Every structure is written in C-alpha cells, then in structure tokens.
Amino acid sequence: MVQVMDTPDSGIQETTLGKVLKLLRNAEGISAAELASRLGWSPSYISAIETGKKEPTLRILNDYGRYFGISPATLLYILEENLYASNAELMIKVLENKAAGEERKRQAMSTRDAL
C-alpha cells in the first residue's frame, strides 16, 4: 500500500496516489459525494481512497480515469514524477497531463473525421 511518510530531514510528505486522485477531483470542482454517486460508490469509500486508508485498485484507477478523461498510466506517471511535490506543483501536473490527454483525443477525432 502507498502510504504518506515523512521524508528524512525534509519535513515534506510523500505524495500518494490517493492525493493525486483527490487533486484531480478537486480540479474538476466535484465533491466526493457527487463522484461517489456517479461511480456507484459510497462517499466514505472515496474518502478512504483519497486519504490513503484504502489502496486504489486498477479498477478504481480506471474508473477515475474514465470519469475524468485521464489514463491510469498517466495517474501513475504523475505520482512517480512528483513523489515529493507540493500540492500546488502536483495540481499543475495533474491539470497539464489532463489537458494534454484532451488535446490528443481532439486530434484523433479530427484525423478520424478527415478520413
């Protein structure tokens, strides 16, 4: 399980996958209760994932990804590349990666429509 731990001597906490998922949800302006309702989960389950009390499974990452338009691989990449990032830095990365994914989808649609 990915857990929040203090890094030696730095006082900075490690970023968790749950934290990435929470920042993604917050960036979209959606409450945990609303997301839970849309995904068919309980709000307490969302909270447990986002606070690191429960480890997100690949199915969870896939559901989050489908809902927010970001791949599970991208979520893991954001986590790996920003293990010791601040919330602000992490939020920027989440938004940048989400925007890049949306642009790739638009380009693919344009190419498909041109054929």
pLDDT at position 33 is 94
Give the domains, in start order, of the chain with CATH numbers.
17-114 (1.10.260.40)
Tokens in use for 12?
Answer: 């900075």
Q: How confident is the model at residue 101 (pLDDT cuts 50, 70, 90)?
A: low
Are residues 65 and 17 in contact, defined by beta-carbon separation less than 8 angstroms?
A: no
Mean pLDDT rounded to a whole number for the chain: 77
Q: Cβ distance 35 to 79 under 8 Å?
A: no
- The pLDDT of residue 112 is 66
Amino acid at 47: S
Percent of the chain with pLDDT over 70: 67
pLDDT digits (tens, 9 = 90+) for 59-81: 988 998 888 888 888 888 777 77
